[in-house]
Structure 1
Amino acid sequence: MVCLFAAAGMMGVFLPATVVHAGEITVYTSYEEDEAAAFLAAARRDLPDIKVNMLRLSTGDLHARMLAESANPRHDVIWGWAVTNMVDPRILNMLESYQPQGIEKVPARFRDAKNRWFATTGYMAAFCVNNEVLKRRNLPMPTSWEDLLKPKFKGEVVMPNPASSGTGYLQIASILQMKGEERGWRYLEALDKNIAQYIKSGSRPCNAASAGEFAVGASFALRAIKNIDEGFPITMVIPSEGAGNELEATGLMKSSRNKKDAKRFIDWALSANAVNEYYKWKEIVTVSGGTMPKNFVAAGLPEDIGSVMVDMDFDWSATNRDRILNTWQQRLER
């Protein structure tokens, strides 16, 4: 691993907002379900005296929930959530400055100047292409976003819905940033003619392609790698124009009723054991100390991952998020 730079699932049990016990915290996350389960298990091993309740929601759904609960937040820590959403001023206002132990291991460009958040992990866009469907339908192997415009791919492409999926939004935002907005929207409208479905989750397009329902699922690299490891007949394709990407951040809620243990959990997120877990699961890790797994390389992920990543402007993505999503919903949502 080069040091750079989804539906709700409930793990643990919520307590009423007024009930507080020492040694118990609630964490909100948008890590994928299997990632979240692995990371949480590691945290519980290292922090056995803290009961960690966790709510997992897709990026967009978690954003909506946090805004809806802003008058009375129900959690102590936001963990592994898209930086593009974290830098929303309404969210930043809910966060308390905190410098966790080990923060010096995270390069300054991957943390907030006011210490309200830091990013340890990230993910990037990739296509999951079903080799058997390509052969059966005499389709060429796509290597770029432009290839998906070919008439042969009509009805053969699925993408995440950017209004609910962080992966979907980074795909749209990266296309607009790479091409410029005018050309970018023209491209997306042309691509829409070949899209069979916009799916709520970032991982499900890959799963649908892996199952042979469609030829191409626009998803993210780790889902492609996992599905290849599970034996699905797919190829991971990183688009030649570059892979849009997102960083995943962690922060302390001002409203936390158990800041002592919330801070211990955040400190753990930068511990050696936590970082070792990240390297097992994430294609982008901002903290040094691990090695890219062999199966990542075998699936086609370059060891110099920075060479394929779009240089994302996260502030632009955040500032323009509502406008971009409104435009997408008006023009393309079904």
Structure 2
Amino acid sequence: MKTLPLLKKCRQALLGATLLLGASAAAAVTELTVYTALESDDLQKYAQRFQQANPDIRIRWVRDSTGVMTARLLAERDNPRADVIWGLAATSLLILDDENLLHPYAPQGVELLEPRFVSQQTPPTWVGMDAWVAAICYNTIEGARRGIPRPTSWEDLTRPEYRGQVIMPNPSSSGTGYLDVASWMQLWGEEQGWDYMDRLHQNISRYTHSGSAPCNLAASGEAVVGVSFAFRAARLKTQGAPVEVVFPSEGLGWDMEAAAIVRGTPRLEAAQRLMDWAVTREANELYNEGYAVVAMPGVAQPLPNYPTDIIDRMIDNDFSWAALNRDRILREWQRRYDGKTERR
């Protein structure tokens, strides 16, 4: 009969050991706070792919538009809340790098990336992921109903028939909006760039805070034309929206999504592992599911609704110029045009 109390004690000891092991396993999981401007419909996929290879690390996303995330990182410089930035414009990372907010690190395999997708510091302070490219969404049904033709160029959007029919992102909050403004100035020079935007402003219905919103609104019929970017335009068309994806003839502005470690993170080893994974072939294949141009040469496969010569259409973008002049350009843009920005 003494075996029963003994058996009970053994079970209790086993249960205690199991709970202790479970607690230890839970404690071994590191949570990384990752700031991003990636498209929200892809965040879960990105996290799942990374965590399959790194089951002891969990990602906690903090997402907003490019301008908002950049301002937040600058505001938190004395008390960083993020561990990693994964999916923010390279022009923003250049600003953060200039403020000494990024931790230098050369991810394993970084030498396999195209050089323009890697910062010029040694060791690099950021690495590129993919390029997102300017594009126009044109609603074919609403265009035909209202007698508004399909545009083929940036200049077309200043014509009288587009009055009140164009929606564009605000460059202060949207990385897509800023790449448009910066690219127009690089295409035509600052004076002609401002002249173009003065004329375009006459036809703008409103400026949005999101780079995706103009395409979404065009797809829903709320606007005929949405100035946006190719990823969102191509995905909406693939999903059956009545839109044509227009790549303006003058050339396409672009920026690259990039990743970096935030200086001062107490979870440096886990952050480095995320950076190591972010430059792998597997990660680049993942980026190519939505973007036609990725950091690792030889990976990108053609995507539906993108032109096969997309790289040739991208302007010779001076990221350093765009980053250095960002504050000045945005102040002037706000002075001229901010009255048509939608309120949050």
Task: Decide: shared fold, TM above 0.5.
Answer: yes
Q: State the Cα distance separating 1:107 from its structure 2 match.
A: 2.1
1:10-60 CA distance string (max 9 Å, x none) = xxxxxxxxxx97622111111111232221221122211112111111100
Does the 8 A contact of 1:157 with 1:196 survive in 2? yes
Task: Return closer, same or farther for 1:212/1:151 CA change in 2, 3 Å cut-off.
Answer: same
More displaced stretch, 111-120 vs 193-202: 111-120
* Aligned equivalent of 2:250, options 241, 245, 267: 241
Q: State the Cα distance separating 1:91 from its structure 2 match.
A: 5.5
State the structure with more CA Rg: 2
RMSD of aligned Cα (Å): 1.5
Answer yes or no: is 1:80 the counterpart of 2:111.
no
Q: State the Cα distance separating 1:108 from its structure 2 match.
A: 2.1
Q: State the Cα distance separating 1:307 from its structure 2 match.
A: 1.3
1:174-230 CA distance string (max 9 Å, x none) = 111111111110110111000001001000000000001111000000101110011
Paired AA for residue 325 in structure 1: L
Q: Which runs of 5+ in 1 are unaligned?
A: 1-19
Q: State the Cα distance separating 1:89 from its structure 2 match.
A: 5.2
Question: Per chain length, whose mean CA-contact separation is higher, i.e. which structure has more relative contact order (CA < 8 Å, sep 6+)?
Answer: 1
Does the 8 A contact of 1:22 with 1:258 survive in 2? no
Structure 2 CA distance, aligned partners of 1:78 and 1:281?
19
Answer yes or no: is 1:287 the counterpart of 2:296.
yes
Alignment of 1:152-191 (within 5 A): 152-191=161-200
* Aligned equivalent of 2:142, options 108, 112, 133: 133
* Aligned equivalent of 1:60, options 59, 67, 73: 67
1:263-317 CA distance string (max 9 Å, x none) = 1111011123212211101132121343424xx34x2x22222111111111110
Aligned to 1:88, the other structure's residue is in SS state helix
Structure 1 CA distance, aligned partners of 2:274 and 2:295?
18
Q: Which runs of 5+ in 2 are unaligned?
A: 1-26, 340-344
- TM-score of the superposed pair, with normalisation by structure 1: 0.90
Structure 2 CA distance, aligned partners of 1:92 and 1:44?
31
Structure 1 CA distance, aligned partners of 2:291 and 2:44?
14
Runs of 4 or more off by more than 2 Å in structure 1? 20-24, 89-92, 288-293
* Aligned equivalent of 1:197, options 187, 206, 214: 206
Task: Return closer, same or farther for 1:142/1:184 CA change in 2, 3 Å cut-off.
Answer: same
Structure 1 CA distance, aligned partners of 2:99 and 2:259?
12
* Aligned equivalent of 1:276, options 285, 307, 310: 285
Answer yes or no: is 1:324 the counterpart of 2:311.
no
Look up the match of 2:36.
Answer: 29
1:45-85 CA distance string (max 9 Å, x none) = 22111121111111000011101111010111111110111
Answer yes or no: is 1:262 the counterpart of 2:271.
yes
- TM-score of the superposed pair, with normalisation by structure 2: 0.87
Look up the match of 2:51.
Answer: 44
Task: Return closer, same or farther for 1:76/1:242 CA change in 2, 3 Å cut-off.
Answer: same
Structure 1 CA distance, aligned partners of 2:221 and 2:29?
49
* Aligned equivalent of 1:120, options 129, 137, 144: 129
Task: Return closer, same or farther for 1:304/1:268 CA change in 2, 3 Å cut-off.
Answer: same
Q: State the Cα distance separating 1:90 from its structure 2 match.
A: 5.8
Aligned to 1:176, the other structure's residue is in SS state helix
Look up the match of 1:7.
Answer: none
Does the 8 A contact of 1:221 with 1:283 survive in 2? no
